Amino acid sequence: MASLDKWYMSLALRLAREASLRGEVPVGAILVVEGKIAGWGRNDRMIKNNILGHAELIAIQRASENIQNWRLMRSTLYVTLEPCIMCTGALLQSRVDRVVFGCRDAKMGAVRSLYALAEDPRLNHRIKIEEGVLADESSALLRNFFENLRTR
Protein backbone atom coordinates (compact mmCIF):
# COMPACT_ATOMS: atom_id res chain seq x y z
CA MET A 1 0.00 0.00 0.00
CA ALA A 2 2.89 2.38 0.69
CA SER A 3 3.90 2.70 -2.97
CA LEU A 4 0.28 3.32 -3.95
CA ASP A 5 0.00 5.97 -1.23
CA LYS A 6 3.10 7.69 -2.61
CA TRP A 7 1.73 7.59 -6.14
CA TYR A 8 -1.59 9.20 -5.17
CA MET A 9 0.23 11.73 -3.00
CA SER A 10 2.44 12.65 -5.96
CA LEU A 11 -0.76 13.47 -7.87
CA ALA A 12 -1.93 15.62 -4.96
CA LEU A 13 1.45 17.39 -4.99
CA ARG A 14 1.01 18.14 -8.68
CA LEU A 15 -2.31 19.80 -7.86
CA ALA A 16 -0.67 21.73 -5.02
CA ARG A 17 1.98 23.04 -7.43
CA GLU A 18 -0.78 24.17 -9.80
CA ALA A 19 -2.47 26.00 -6.93
CA SER A 20 0.82 27.73 -6.11
CA LEU A 21 1.22 28.89 -9.70
CA ARG A 22 -2.23 30.47 -9.42
CA GLY A 23 -1.26 32.33 -6.24
CA GLU A 24 -3.09 29.94 -3.93
CA VAL A 25 -1.67 28.26 -0.84
CA PRO A 26 -0.26 25.07 -2.37
CA VAL A 27 -2.54 22.30 -1.17
CA GLY A 28 -3.79 19.48 -3.37
CA ALA A 29 -6.12 16.56 -2.68
CA ILE A 30 -7.09 13.32 -4.42
CA LEU A 31 -10.08 11.29 -3.24
CA VAL A 32 -10.03 7.61 -4.14
CA VAL A 33 -13.22 5.57 -3.79
CA GLU A 34 -12.99 1.80 -4.12
CA GLY A 35 -9.61 2.05 -5.83
CA LYS A 36 -10.55 4.71 -8.39
CA ILE A 37 -9.97 8.46 -8.39
CA ALA A 38 -13.42 9.92 -7.81
CA GLY A 39 -12.52 13.51 -6.96
CA TRP A 40 -9.66 15.95 -6.86
CA GLY A 41 -9.11 19.50 -5.73
CA ARG A 42 -6.59 22.24 -5.26
CA ASN A 43 -6.99 25.34 -3.15
CA ASP A 44 -8.93 28.06 -4.97
CA ARG A 45 -10.31 30.28 -2.23
CA MET A 46 -8.35 33.36 -3.38
CA ILE A 47 -9.40 32.99 -7.03
CA LYS A 48 -13.03 32.37 -6.15
CA ASN A 49 -13.03 34.58 -3.05
CA ASN A 50 -14.66 31.69 -1.18
CA ILE A 51 -13.52 30.37 2.20
CA LEU A 52 -14.85 26.94 1.20
CA GLY A 53 -12.23 26.68 -1.54
CA HIS A 54 -10.09 24.15 0.33
CA ALA A 55 -8.63 21.32 -1.74
CA GLU A 56 -10.26 18.68 0.47
CA LEU A 57 -13.75 20.17 0.19
CA ILE A 58 -13.48 20.47 -3.58
CA ALA A 59 -12.32 16.83 -3.83
CA ILE A 60 -15.20 15.68 -1.60
CA GLN A 61 -17.74 17.60 -3.67
CA ARG A 62 -16.43 16.23 -6.97
CA ALA A 63 -16.32 12.68 -5.64
CA SER A 64 -19.87 12.91 -4.30
CA GLU A 65 -21.08 14.17 -7.68
CA ASN A 66 -19.15 11.48 -9.57
CA ILE A 67 -20.40 8.54 -7.51
CA GLN A 68 -23.82 10.11 -6.93
CA ASN A 69 -23.62 9.64 -3.17
CA TRP A 70 -22.60 11.91 -0.31
CA ARG A 71 -21.42 8.87 1.66
CA LEU A 72 -17.86 8.24 0.56
CA MET A 73 -17.36 4.88 2.21
CA ARG A 74 -14.41 2.68 1.16
CA SER A 75 -12.48 5.83 0.34
CA THR A 76 -9.13 7.44 1.02
CA LEU A 77 -8.31 11.13 0.79
CA TYR A 78 -4.72 12.02 -0.09
CA VAL A 79 -3.88 15.60 0.83
CA THR A 80 -0.57 17.42 0.97
CA LEU A 81 -1.33 19.29 4.22
CA GLU A 82 -3.04 18.11 7.40
CA PRO A 83 -6.76 18.97 7.17
CA CYS A 84 -8.20 21.86 9.21
CA ILE A 85 -11.24 21.70 11.47
CA MET A 86 -13.68 22.55 8.65
CA CYS A 87 -12.26 19.94 6.29
CA THR A 88 -12.03 17.28 8.99
CA GLY A 89 -15.70 17.88 9.79
CA ALA A 90 -16.60 17.37 6.14
CA LEU A 91 -14.48 14.21 5.97
CA LEU A 92 -16.25 12.83 9.04
CA GLN A 93 -19.70 13.76 7.72
CA SER A 94 -18.99 12.16 4.33
CA ARG A 95 -17.76 8.95 6.00
CA VAL A 96 -14.30 8.92 4.42
CA ASP A 97 -12.48 5.85 5.76
CA ARG A 98 -8.90 6.99 5.61
CA VAL A 99 -6.86 10.19 5.26
CA VAL A 100 -3.26 10.17 4.12
CA PHE A 101 -1.53 13.53 4.47
CA GLY A 102 1.90 14.91 3.75
CA CYS A 103 2.93 17.41 6.41
CA ARG A 104 1.43 18.66 9.62
CA ASP A 105 -0.18 22.07 10.02
CA ALA A 106 0.93 23.48 13.38
CA LYS A 107 -1.54 26.38 13.21
CA MET A 108 -4.71 24.75 11.89
CA GLY A 109 -4.21 20.97 11.83
CA ALA A 110 -7.21 19.09 13.18
CA VAL A 111 -6.22 15.43 12.85
CA ARG A 112 -2.84 15.43 14.62
CA SER A 113 -1.34 18.85 15.38
CA LEU A 114 -3.96 20.74 17.38
CA TYR A 115 -6.78 18.21 17.58
CA ALA A 116 -7.46 14.54 16.89
CA LEU A 117 -10.98 15.03 15.56
CA ALA A 118 -10.80 12.21 13.05
CA GLU A 119 -10.29 9.62 15.79
CA ASP A 120 -12.42 11.12 18.54
CA PRO A 121 -14.18 8.20 20.28
CA ARG A 122 -17.23 10.37 21.02
CA LEU A 123 -18.13 10.51 17.33
CA ASN A 124 -20.05 7.83 15.46
CA HIS A 125 -17.45 7.70 12.66
CA ARG A 126 -13.68 7.63 12.89
CA ILE A 127 -11.10 8.05 10.17
CA LYS A 128 -7.85 6.11 9.96
CA ILE A 129 -4.96 8.56 9.67
CA GLU A 130 -1.63 8.04 7.92
CA GLU A 131 0.77 10.95 8.05
CA GLY A 132 4.12 11.80 6.57
CA VAL A 133 3.70 10.48 3.02
CA LEU A 134 5.94 12.72 0.87
CA ALA A 135 6.08 15.09 3.84
CA ASP A 136 9.38 16.69 2.81
CA GLU A 137 8.05 17.58 -0.64
CA SER A 138 4.79 18.90 0.78
CA SER A 139 6.56 20.95 3.43
CA ALA A 140 9.10 22.39 0.98
CA LEU A 141 6.35 23.46 -1.40
CA LEU A 142 4.55 25.34 1.38
CA ARG A 143 7.74 26.83 2.80
CA ASN A 144 8.87 28.11 -0.63
CA PHE A 145 5.43 29.55 -1.34
CA PHE A 146 5.37 31.58 1.88
CA GLU A 147 9.01 32.65 1.54
CA ASN A 148 8.27 33.97 -1.96
CA LEU A 149 5.15 35.70 -0.65
CA ARG A 150 7.13 37.48 2.05
CA THR A 151 9.84 38.67 -0.37
CA ARG A 152 7.31 40.25 -2.75
User: Which residues are part of the catalytic machinery?
Assistant: 56
Q: 3-state SS of 33-96?
A: ECCEEEEEEECCHHHHCCCCCCHHHHHHHHHHHHHCCCCCCCEEEEEEECCCHHHHHHHHHCCC
Instruction: Compute the Cα dihedral for 91, 84, 125, 33 and give only its sign.
Output: positive
